[in-house]
């Protein structure tokens, strides 16, 4: 599965590198003044770095060799001041650009998160949750180095190399040519090892991602593991993944450990070469001893700009892949589009499905074909049928999670596709089978239904659904844990009912809302059903057929078509498909 996802990422190139870089640069434009000042500061720091060896030359040639010790202290103070000032400039510019880079990636992350809220459910059907999370966290984080100091560092170090060779040639052509002969070997060495180490660290990150993923899966499925006594099997699987990560890290660390000693060796060879040629030139009085010392100092400064430029190139490649995945989110278009010209007021709750045809993807068979149904206002209709009959699909279409390809759905004689989406969904609520709660307090979970609700309104909603006693004993500020893990399944579901009730929707969908709760909680819900369904149109999707005796009409679906319809007693007396479903369920058979 993961390999298939990696392949999709590799083949999924919508943009050229130039387009990506140009769009990325646009995010820096609001901060161009800060970056301009930072660039000037770093150029000044670079200039000071170039000056330092020249000061050493002056100390040796103009003071030490001439035995003029009076001005030596003054030059030493200048040298120290230049070094400190260069250090401070580097610290300040690095801090400012990093903070600015953080602001930019925060902005990108906000835009990506907002876009994810706007995208339709078809996007989440195609994309794995882990990949989406990785894009909005890891991929955005990868841009920090590039957007903070990366681009400026690259510009500054290119200019540094140009200025350095200009100074070298002004000092002595022969030694400069000696360094130019040595320079390509150093550059090739650094680039080669950067490629090798980058590949090794990429493998390390991939193997670590597998370890982390397996950790998460193993913890999530710990009850299954223990129930099947599969601890040894799970541990063996984890150990293999962990060993793979260990070996990948060993290779990366070995390359990293070798790189710098070899670089020092290469620099030592370069220094020896310059020392040999320069020593001969000093002996022949072609250059001064101070010039030789300056050259030796410049040789030690050659490796840093090459490494910075190599890092920038690697960071650029990594960032281009990351920003492409981020822009893939930002450029995705929601299938369901809101129209701002139609706002619903005084909703009565009449629903009309008129010849609705829908399929999830173009290459699949329709789930619904010419489906038609009229639900009068403030009536409760139940949808029943085998798995795949189209029950949940109807609820998803009513919520506008998807758009249908033909026909229309009307709410009070208004096509729901013509409505402002936010306004429309304010009039509709769903209580799903999976009673999802956010990792927050009971109060804040309830406020998702109505952010302006007072504590008194919250307490009334809890009272109506039979959740008042246990929530008050715990307190509204009780932290429910991840997905409500600190509450029982029944307690979570009752809070979901209260949340829907706080929203006060005109249309309520109960999608197998009691199928996973215990008998006691189901009894509490059934006793509260009058309060829950009062003055609203309700669509009930149920597998427990005994729980829908109270509804006004039962609609029996089969392969997206209505095959039977009537009250509970009418359908039982008819002796048709519903009766067969009911008797099978009563006999304990899975339908």
Question: Residue 138 is part of a domain; what is its CATH number?
Answer: 1.20.1560.10
Question: End of a domain among 152, 171, 190?
Answer: 171
Beta pairing class for 507-511 and 368-375: unpaired
Q: Are residues 30 and 123 in the same domain?
A: yes
Q: Are residues 129 and 25 in the same domain?
A: yes
Q: Are residues 446 and 417 in the same domain?
A: no
For the chain, the domain total comes to 3
Q: Are residues 531 and 550 in the same domain?
A: no
Question: End of a domain among 138, 171, 204?
Answer: 171
Q: Are residues 359 and 502 in the same domain?
A: no
Query: Residue 513 has what pLDDT?
Result: 65
Query: Residue 12 has what pLDDT?
Result: 47
Question: End of a domain among 143, 171, 199?
Answer: 171
Q: Is residue 582 part of a domain?
A: yes
Q: Is residue 92 part of a domain?
A: yes
Q: Are residues 33 and 164 in the same domain?
A: yes
Query: Residue 381 has what pLDDT?
Result: 93
Query: Residue 1 has what pLDDT?
Result: 40
Query: What are all long-range contacts of 138-142, with beta carbons under 8 Å and residues at least 24 apart?
Result: 138/322, 139/322, 139/323, 139/325, 139/326, 140/105, 140/108, 140/109, 140/112, 140/322, 140/326, 141/105, 142/315, 142/318, 142/319, 142/322
* Domain hosting residue 139, numbered range: 15-171
The CATH number given to whatever domain includes residue 475 is 3.40.50.300
Query: Residue 4 has what pLDDT?
Result: 43
Q: Is residue 306 part of a domain?
A: no
Question: Residue 478, SS3?
Answer: coil
Q: Are residues 479 and 557 in the same domain?
A: no
Q: Are residues 160 and 42 in the same domain?
A: yes
Q: Are residues 489 and 588 in the same domain?
A: no
Q: Are residues 530 and 553 in the same domain?
A: no
Q: Is residue 560 part of a domain?
A: yes
Q: Is residue 180 part of a domain?
A: no
Does the global pTM surpass 0.85? no
Beta pairing class for 553-558 and 561-566: antiparallel
Q: Is residue 309 part of a domain?
A: no
Tokens of 109: 């992350």
Low-confidence ranges of the chain (pLDDT < 50): 1-13, 588-591
Q: Is residue 416 part of a domain?
A: yes
State phi, psi for 383 to the nearest 5 degrees.
-110, 125
Query: Residue 374 has what pLDDT?
Result: 93
Q: Are residues 413 and 443 in the same domain?
A: no
Q: Are residues 442 and 490 in the same domain?
A: yes
Site of tokens 């710990």: 222
Q: Is residue 225 part of a domain?
A: no
């Amino acid at each position: 599965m993961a390999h298939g996802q990696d392949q999709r990422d590799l083949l999924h190139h919508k943009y050229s590198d130039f387009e990506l870089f140009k769009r990325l640069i646009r995010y820096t434009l609001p901060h161009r003044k800060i970056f301009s000042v930072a660039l000037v500061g770093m150029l000044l720091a670079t200039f000071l770095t170039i000056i330092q060896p020249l000061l050493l030359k002056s100390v040796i040639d103009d003071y030490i060799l001439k035995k003029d010790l009076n001005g030596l202290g003054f030059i030493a103070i200048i040298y120290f001041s230049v070094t400190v000032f260069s250090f401070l400039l580097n610290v300040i510019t690095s801090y400012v650009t990093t903070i600015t880079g953080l602001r930019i990636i925060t902005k990108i992350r906000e835009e990506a998160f907002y876009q994810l809220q706007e995208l339709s459910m078809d996007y989440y059907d195609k994309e794995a949750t882990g990949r989406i999370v990785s894009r909005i966290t890891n991929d955005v984080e990868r841009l920090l180095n590039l957007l903070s100091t990366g681009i400026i560092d690259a510009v500054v170090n290119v200019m540094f190399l140009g200025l350095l060779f200009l100074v070298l040639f002004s000092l002595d052509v022969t030694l400069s040519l000696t360094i130019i002969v040595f320079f390509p070997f150093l550059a090739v060495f650094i680039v080669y090892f950067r490629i090798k180490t980058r590949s090794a660290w990429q493998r390390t990150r991939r193997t670590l991602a597998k370890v982390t993923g397996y950790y998460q899966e193993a913890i999530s499925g710990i009850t299954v593991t223990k129930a099947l006594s599969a601890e040894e099997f799970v541990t063996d699987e984890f150990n293999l993944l962990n060993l793979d990560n260990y070996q990948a890290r060993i290779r990366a660390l070995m390359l990293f450990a070798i790189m710098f000693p070899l670089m020092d060796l290469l620099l030592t060879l370069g220094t020896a070469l310059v020392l040999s040629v320069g020593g001969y030139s000093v002996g022949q009085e072609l250059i001064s001893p101070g010039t030789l010392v300056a050259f030796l100092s410049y040789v030690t400064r050659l490796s840093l700009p090459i490494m910075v430029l190599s890092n920038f190139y690697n960071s650029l490649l990594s960032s281009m892949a990351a920003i492409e995945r981020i822009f893939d989110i930002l450029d995705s278009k929601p299938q369901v589009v809101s129209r701002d010209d139609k706002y619903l007021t005084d909703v009565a709750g009449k629903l009309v499905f008129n010849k609705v045809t829908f399929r999830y993807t173009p290459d699949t068979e329709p789930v619904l074909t010419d489906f038609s149904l009229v639900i009068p206002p403030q009536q409760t209709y139940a949808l029943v049928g085998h798995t795949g009959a189209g029950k949940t699909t109807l609820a998803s279409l009513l919520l506008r999670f998807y758009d249908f390809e033909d026909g229309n759905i009307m709410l009070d004689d208004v096509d729901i596709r013509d409505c402002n989406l936010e306004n429309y969904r304010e009039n509709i609520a769903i209580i799903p089978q999976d009673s999802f709660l956010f990792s927050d307090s009971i109060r804040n979970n309830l406020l998702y239904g109505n952010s302006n609700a007072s504590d008194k309104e919250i307490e009334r909603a809890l009272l109506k659904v039979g959740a008042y006693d246990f929530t008050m004993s715990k307190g509204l500020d009780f932290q429910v844990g991840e997905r409500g893990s600190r509450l029982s399944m029944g307690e979570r579901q009752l809070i979901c009912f209260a949340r829907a009730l706080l929203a006060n929707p005109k249309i309520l969908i109960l999608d197998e809302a009691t199928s996973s709760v215990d008998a006691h909680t189901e009894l509490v819900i059934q006793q509260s059903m009058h309060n829950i369904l009062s003055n609203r149109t309700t669509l009930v999707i149920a597998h427990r057929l005994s729980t829908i005796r109270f509804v006004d009409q039962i609609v029996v679906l089969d392969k997206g078509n209505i095959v039977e319809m009537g009250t509970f007693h009418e359908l039982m007396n008819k002796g048709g498909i519903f009766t067969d479903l009911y008797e099978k369920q009563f006999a304990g058979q899975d339908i």
